[in-house]
């Protein structure tokens, strides 16, 4: 109606139409902002108290020769598993994912064990393995939000079955390379149809003042498939109409345990 008013008034009294334009622009901006909020935080079927919790265990032993926790350390951490899609439906055990978390004051370690049906990856990447738009092929992803007081700001890390990776700083829907200095190790096991990815994420790339007593927000996801319909899986379902992992309101909780 406001746009119609401007259009009609323009023919007879352009001064009045000009005066109404700022209001029209503001209403349009507010509508776009509300739409973005709705897309990123669709109605959830549960409250915050019902969101899942991940436990990161303190890594106090010596890393292996490549600077990662050894199998014994990973085995003592608490696993979380998911095989359903982003709506919490249509579970596919052949594409299930296990995640384990360890931490030190300097590093957050994330380990994905991914079962797969098929593997589709990019043949090329930057010299250091960083690959833009990595999500258009098979990936495992972790979303981390150390400070939930800024709901539109979080970090995203992805790794592919062939070791390519991407790190992003997300703010109000925009994204830029994080330059986190992440390290990764990826191993494929074709007979078992699994691939394992270990990430070592520097804490300083996540938060300037790490405090193990603080609870973070986070989510994990998987994408598999060369063409649509692809398999989109999320640990904490986002319940969006279309596959969408960028839903901070659906992020689960991350607790650091000594």
Task: Yes or no: say if 203 and 237 are a contact pair by the CB < 8 Å rule.
Answer: no
236 alpha carbon, distance to own chain's centre:
11
Within a 13 Å sphere around the CA of 172, how many CA atoms are in the beta-carbon half?
A: 3
**pLDDT at site 214:** 97
Measured from the Cβ of residue 61, the count of other Cβ atoms closer than 10 Å reads: 12
Which two tokens mark 257?
Answer: 């345990």
pLDDT in tens, 130-177: 999 999 999 999 999 999 988 899 999 999 999 999 999 999 889 999
Give the integer Cα–Cα distance in Å for 78 and 99. 9
Q: What is the mean pLDDT of residues 44-73?
A: 87
Question: Is the model's pLDDT at 28 over the cut of 80?
Answer: no
Task: Yes or no: say if 68 and 198 are a contact pair by the CB < 8 Å rule.
Answer: yes
Question: Is the model's pLDDT at 22 over the cut of 70?
Answer: no
Task: List the beta bridge partners of residue 82.
Answer: 97
Task: Yes or no: say if 224 and 235 are a contact pair by the CB < 8 Å rule.
Answer: no
Which band of pLDDT confidence, cut at 50, 70 and 90, is reported for residue 44? very low
Instruction: From 198, 205, 138, select the one nearest 177 (Cα to Cα).
Output: 205
Domain ranges for the chain: 2-40, 48-257
Measured from the Cβ of residue 166, the count of other Cβ atoms closer than 10 Å reads: 24
Question: Is the model's pLDDT at 75 over the cut of 90?
Answer: yes
- Find out whether the peptide bond into 229 is cis, omega within 30 degrees of 0: yes
* Domain 48-257, classified CATH 3.40.50.720, yes or no: no
pLDDT in tens, 223-241: 999 999 999 999 999 999 9
Residues whose CB falls within 8 Å of the CB of residue 178, separated by 6 or more in sequence, listed in order:
155, 167, 168, 169, 205
The helix or strand, by DSSP H or E, that contains position 189, with its residue range, turns out to be strand 183-189
Give the integer Cα–Cα distance in Å for 155 and 110. 14
Within a 13 Å sphere around the CA of 200, how many CA atoms are in the beta-carbon half?
A: 17
Measured from the Cβ of residue 138, the count of other Cβ atoms closer than 10 Å reads: 26
Which band of pLDDT confidence, cut at 50, 70 and 90, is reported for residue 38? very low
Question: Is the model's pLDDT at 48 over the cut of 70?
Answer: no
Residues whose CB falls within 8 Å of the CB of residue 77, separated by 6 or more in sequence, listed in order:
55, 56, 57, 100, 101, 102, 111
pTM over 0.95: no
């Amino acid at each position: 109606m406001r746009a119609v008013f401007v259009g009609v008034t323009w023919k007879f009294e352009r001064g009045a139409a000009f005066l109404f334009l700022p209001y029209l622009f503001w209403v349009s901006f507010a509508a776009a902002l509300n739409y973005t909020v709705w897309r990123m935080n669709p109605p959830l079927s549960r409250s915050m108290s019902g969101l899942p919790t991940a436990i990161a265990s303190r890594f106090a032993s010596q890393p292996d020769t490549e600077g990662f926790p050894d199998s014994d350390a990973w085995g003592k951490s608490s696993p979380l598993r998911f095989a359903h899609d982003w709506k919490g439906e249509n579970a596919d055990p052949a594409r299930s994912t296990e995640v384990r978390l360890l931490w030190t004051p300097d590093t957050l370690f994330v380990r994905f064990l991914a079962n797969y049906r098929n593997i589709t990856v990019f043949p090329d990447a930057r010299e250091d393995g960083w690959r833009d738009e990595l999500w258009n092929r098979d990936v495992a992803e972790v979303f981390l939000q150390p400070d939930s007081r800024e709901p539109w700001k979080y970090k995203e890390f992805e790794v592919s079955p062939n070791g390519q990776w991407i790190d992003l700083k997300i703010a109000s829907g925009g994204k830029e390379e994080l330059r986190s200095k992440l390290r990764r190790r990826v191993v494929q096991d074709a007979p078992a149809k699994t691939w394992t990815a270990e990430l070592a994420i520097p804490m300083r790339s996540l938060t300037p003042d790490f405090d193990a007593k603080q609870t973070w927000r986070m989510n994990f996801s998987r994408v598999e498939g060369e063409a649509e319909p692809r398999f989109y899986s999320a640990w904490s379902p986002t319940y969006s109409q279309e596959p969408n992992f960028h839903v901070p309101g659906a992020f689960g909780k991350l607790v650091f345990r000594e």
